[in-house]
Amino acid sequence: MSENKEETKNTKESAHQPDVDKTTTPPGKKGKKGEQSTKSKPKTSTKKIKILCDNCAGRYLLSYGKGDVVNLESKQAELMIDAGDAKETK
């Protein structure tokens, strides 16, 4: 009978003590001070184009007007060139 009391006593004591893993880094700390990330940002290719369409804002949601020479992301520039709304310049 006394063994059962000791077992329940040990169980109750262990229930109050949380398991703490001391090998993990506490939240908010991410390494040594002064360390900076060396990840490189992806570079987007751009093209220089001349706008030929009158309604660039309505078609492409851009704030450029007819005759403007601008640098745009290559996907957007190709889309506009294929549609005949712009031409590539150098």
Angle (CA) 30-20-31 rounded to 5° is 10
* Tokens linked to 29: 């700390």
3-state secondary structure of 75: helix
Place of tokens 């601008």: 70
Q: What is the Cα–Cα distance from 84 to 64, expressed in whole angstroms?
A: 16
- pTM exceeds 0.75, yes or no: no
pLDDT digits (tens, 9 = 90+) for 57-73: 899 999 999 999 999 99
Listed by start position, the domains of the chain span: 45-90
Please report how many Cα atoms fall inside a 13 Å half-sphere around the Cα of residue 59, on the Cβ side: 16
pLDDT digits (tens, 9 = 90+) for 17-60: 555 555 555 566 555 555 565 666 667 799 999 999 998 889 99
